[in-house]
Amino acid sequence: MADNKSLSGAPISLWQAPFFIIGEKKTHKPMSGLAFKIMTIIMSIRKIFRNIKEETELARINTGDYILDFGCGPGFNAIPAAQKVGDEGKVFALDINPRAIEIVMKKKRKHNLTNIHTILSDCDTRLKSQSIDVVYLHNTFPMIKNKENVLDELYRVLKVNGKLSYMSRTLSRIAGRNPKIDDDLRKYLEHENKFKVIKEQNKHFVFEKIIKT
């Protein structure tokens, strides 16, 4: 990993929040059952005002694609993505909270989907390197403790020119105590020279993986 310095050699202070310090590893535990339930209720209400189809397809997913929904929550993106990629594709729905995994599995059965695979983890996907076409990192990044480790893992599993679809709406930024997380992430990824922004729409970013030279 490159040193966290600007082109002028001055240190770059990207992650101002105390829980996002480059190189520092912290234990990440799932939120309590009550907190998760409250979060799910609020997200379900907000879903009424969101265009989920637009969110899932901004990165242009296609039939046969392999998708990783990192921090899948109750499956708002995982389910429509699985329907879009079809039987030839796969969706890996990852979350640290067992309750989230249970909900996704229930929805999987309800919609008679066979192409969703769940992963209970806070970082390690256990997927093959360069096996994923699109990663969803929606409304979860501000709450992740080991952000650098997660970004390294997402870079590892994405194919060359694979897409990282990122958004952090108000609720997740409040929960993560970092209102400037969008700018911080963009600066970090550009500094590391691992991703480039190829699309931006209403604070929803699509990054493309590039090979470091």
* Of 32, 23, 4, 55, residue with least CA distance to 193: 4
Give the pLDDT confidence of 65-113 residue by residue, as tens digits.
999 999 999 999 999 999 999 999 999 999 999 999 999 999 999 999 9
Which residues pair with residue 195 across a beta bridge? Answer: 209
Class of domain 53-209: alpha beta
31-65 per-position pLDDT tens digit: 556 655 656 665 655 555 566 677 788 889 999 99
Average pLDDT over residues 135-152: 90
More confident residue, 167 or 55: 167
- The mean pLDDT value of the chain amounts to 79
Q: Looking at residues 163-169, what average pLDDT do you find? A: 88
